[in-house]
Chains A and B, each alone.
Chain A
Amino acid sequence: MIACADAVKQLWDYLDRTLPEIDRVRVQEHLEVCRTCCGELEFAQELQAFLAAQRDDEIPPDARARLEALLADLKES
């Protein structure tokens, strides 16, 4: 069985489904018997959700004003 250090290195790729099948099975087997690495896995999932929640598409009013001015200039040329 692979060591914890090797399993932890591959957890995000395991979640992303980018591991080759043989490595995915090895990580899976490790997770079935290792509580600590299951904690690491849960935290990796929390971190992914944490990052996904950062998508806000706001624009500060001053930046919008400057970019609108640029657009107006493009129109004139």
Chain B
Amino acid sequence: MEAERRALSQDREDRPTFQDLAREHLPRLYGLARRLAGDDAEDLVQEALMRGFRAFASLERAESAGAWLSAILLNSHRDRLRKEARSVREISMEEVDDFSLYRHIAEEDPYPYSDTLHADFLGLFDADDVHRVLDTLPPLYRAPLVLRYIEEYATKQIARVLDAPLGTILARLHRGRKLFERALWDYAEVTGLLEKEEVR
């Protein structure tokens, strides 16, 4: 028993400091925060670091620090979403269901001589453009979309992380996808991406 306690104590002394671990995982934390919170990314990472620092004693294995810090950041973001959910109305299915980006691209036919019309359209966007499009989505819908399709979480995991019923998450995912499709087209039009491609 005493030997175990000494070993545990030794492990704790040997393990990296919170600062060492946080520094190592800053790019991952910032990238996740950027996709979830857009321009508020730095603020969200700051909050997660402060929370992490206070809870550092609860981290049992330094190898789990990345997942642990990501979970803290997601909790911080979830708390922000909760506050926002009180003031933001849910978007109804009817408002978003009619739009299909696939059909819209085919109907507008921006590149009449292309055999790969839809792939060409997606090829217009660089990483910065996609971040800007994501930024236009209400956070309530952006979070499930980012977690499912960029972070590749399972839907049940998203429901757990965001502490919402699975049905709510599935409905928000559906609306988020539709809003994202429409936002991609609107962004391409407003920023002149479509015209630039035609000139090429």
Contacts and interface: CB of A to CB of B under 8 A. Distances in A.
A51 B150 contact: yes
Interface in B7-58: 17-19, 22-23, 26-28, 30-32, 35, 41-42, 45-46, 49-50, 53
- Taking chain B's interface residues, is the majority helix, strand, or loop, or is none over half, making it mixed? helix
Contact residues on B (Cβ < 8 Å of other chain), bracket = 35 or more
A55 B174 contact: no
B97 interface: yes
B22 A43 contact: no
B103 to A, nearest CB: 8
B177 A12 contact: yes
A58 B101 contact: no
Given A67-B49, A74-B50, A58 B174 contact: no
B160 interface: no
Contacts of A50: 122, 125, 130
Contacts, number: 92
B30 A63 contact: yes
Given A50-B122, A58-B27, A9 B53 contact: no
Interface in B85-105: 97, 100-103
Query: Which of B22, B50, B102, B173 gathers most chain A CB within 10 Å?
Result: B102
B174 A54 contact: no
Contacts of B101: 43, 47
Interface in A16-74: 16, 18, 39-40, 43-44, 46-48, 50-52, 54-59, 63-64, 66-68, 70-72, 74
- Taking chain A's interface residues, is the majority helix, strand, or loop, or is none over half, making it mixed? helix
A16 B169 CA distance: 13
Interface of A: 8-9, 12-13, 16, 18, 39-40, 43-44, 46-48, 50-52, 54-59, 63-64, 66-68, 70-72, 74-75
Given A46-B119, A52-B150, A67-B49, 6 more contacts: A13-B170, A44-B102, A54-B127, A54-B150, A57-B32, A71-B22
13 contacts: A12-B174, A12-B177, A40-B102, A55-B31, A57-B28, A58-B27, A67-B26, A70-B46, A70-B50, A74-B19, A74-B50, A75-B17, A75-B19
Interface of B: 17-19, 22-23, 26-28, 30-32, 35, 41-42, 45-46, 49-50, 53, 97, 100-103, 118-119, 122, 125, 127, 130-131, 145, 148-152, 155, 170, 173-174, 177, 181
